[in-house]
């Protein structure tokens, strides 16, 4: 075994613990998966040091080795790894980050209404007030196969029109996991940035399903604003910004208000307090004057 491999194995061990399966001849090593093993010691997460990639056969997390240190290790481990990593693996990191729509993705308007799962999905959308026009405008789709089966998909595109994220929401009300996230960081993207007109007033909301009911809106994909979203708004937004989180997230909305309301954005931030625990998707995007909240 080369010295380089030995050092890399030590770095990996600091993140994943000792390997459970060792195939030195193939430079392949199996570890307990950091996401899904939960003490069962299955060794399903395989690292291949010929290709500098890793993959869990059980839950599907995967990537170039550098990403393992980014996501589960620390800066020091990553730095040491980058010093020893052979140059040939540098490109891989960029290439693989290309996100794809889930397998089996069909646009809702191209689905087959006589096929029961498609009908179920369609009825779910109708029940939430999501019309054919909205489906068309936002490229909303669904899939009945693969990792994201049984989910409505709302794709997100960056300012160059490349897919950078998608929302996958189950249409089955009894599903254990309502949402399943794609393999990328939501903090590193701005959802449907290609649709934002930075010259006009902007709404900030929580989820993608809220955003489709609000004109020129950005879903934060949660109740907190990422650094990227803050700096992009600060730099690009020319109009007012209205914060419209769920009714029960008023304290979080207030935090977002105070983060935004300074510098060039001072006095351009408005706050909406929705009644009860409703969200703007429940209200089908209807905002009454009385929802605007004055901050003193």
Site residues, Zn ion (CB under 5 A): 33, 35-36, 56, 58-59
Q: How far is the CB of 5 from Zn ion (least distance, A)?
A: 23
Q: How far is the CB of 71 from Zn ion (least distance, A)?
A: 13
Q: How far is the CB of 68 from Zn ion (least distance, A)?
A: 12
Cα–Cα distance measured from residue 189 to residue 164, given in angstroms and rounded to the nearest whole number: 7
DSSP lists the bridge partners of residue 292 as 272
Angle at 269 between CA 263 and CA 272, to 5 degrees: 155
Nearer to Zn ion, 33 or 269 (CB): 33
Q: How far is the CB of 170 from Zn ion (least distance, A)?
A: 21
Q: How far is the CB of 60 from Zn ion (least distance, A)?
A: 7
Nearer to Zn ion, 36 or 259 (CB): 36
Cα–Cα distance measured from residue 207 to residue 194, given in angstroms and rounded to the nearest whole number: 17
Nearer to Zn ion, 7 or 59 (CB): 59
Cα–Cα distance measured from residue 235 to residue 127, given in angstroms and rounded to the nearest whole number: 38
Nearer to Zn ion, 40 or 76 (CB): 40
Q: Are strands 292-293 and 269-272 parallel, antiparallel or unpaired?
A: antiparallel
Torsion of CA 57, 59, 65, 69, to 10 degrees: -140
Nearer to Zn ion, 36 or 99 (CB): 36
Nearer to Zn ion, 72 or 234 (CB): 72
Please report which helix (H) or strand (E) contains residue 165, including its range. strand 163-170
Beta strands in 186-245 (DSSP E): 202-205, 217-219, 241-243
Q: Are strands 21-23 and 28-31 parallel, antiparallel or unpaired?
A: antiparallel
Cα–Cα distance measured from residue 145 to residue 271, given in angstroms and rounded to the nearest whole number: 41
Q: How far is the CB of 34 from Zn ion (least distance, A)?
A: 7
């Amino acid at each position: 075994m080369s010295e380089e491999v030995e050092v890399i194995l030590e770095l990996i061990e600091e993140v994943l613990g000792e390997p459970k399966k060792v195939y030195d001849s193939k430079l392949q090593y199996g570890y307990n998966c950091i996401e899904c093993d939960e003490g069962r010691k299955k060794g399903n997460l395989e690292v291949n040091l010929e290709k500098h990639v890793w993959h869990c056969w059980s839950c599907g997390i995967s990537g170039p080795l550098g990403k393992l240190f980014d996501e589960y290790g620390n800066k020091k481990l990553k730095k040491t790894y980058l010093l020893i990593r052979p140059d040939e693996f540098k490109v891989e990191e960029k290439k693989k980050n290309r996100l794809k729509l889930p397998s089996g993705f069909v646009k809702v308007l191209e689905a087959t209404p006589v096929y029961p799962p498609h009908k179920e999905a369609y009825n779910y959308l109708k029940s939430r007030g999501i019309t054919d026009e909205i489906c068309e405008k936002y490229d909303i789709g669904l899939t009945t196969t693969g990792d994201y089966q049984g989910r409505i998909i709302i794709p997100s595109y960056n300012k160059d029109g490349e897919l950078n994220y998608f929302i996958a929401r189950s249409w089955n009300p009894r599903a254990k996991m309502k949402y399943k996230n794609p393999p990328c960081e939501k903090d590193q993207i701005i959802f449907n940035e290609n649709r934002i007109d930075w010259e006009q007033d902007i709404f900030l909301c929580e989820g993608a399903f809220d955003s489709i009911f609000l004109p020129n809106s950005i879903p934060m994909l949660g109740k907190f604003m990422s650094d990227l979203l803050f700096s992009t708004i600060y730099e690009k937004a020319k109009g007012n910004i209205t914060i419209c989180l769920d009714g029960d997230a008023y304290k979080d909305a207030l935090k977002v208000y105070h983060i935004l309301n300074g510098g060039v954005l001072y006095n351009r931030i408005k706050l909406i307090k929705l009644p009860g625990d409703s969200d703007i998707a429940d209200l089908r995007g209807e905002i009454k004057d009385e929802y605007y909240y004055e901050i003193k």
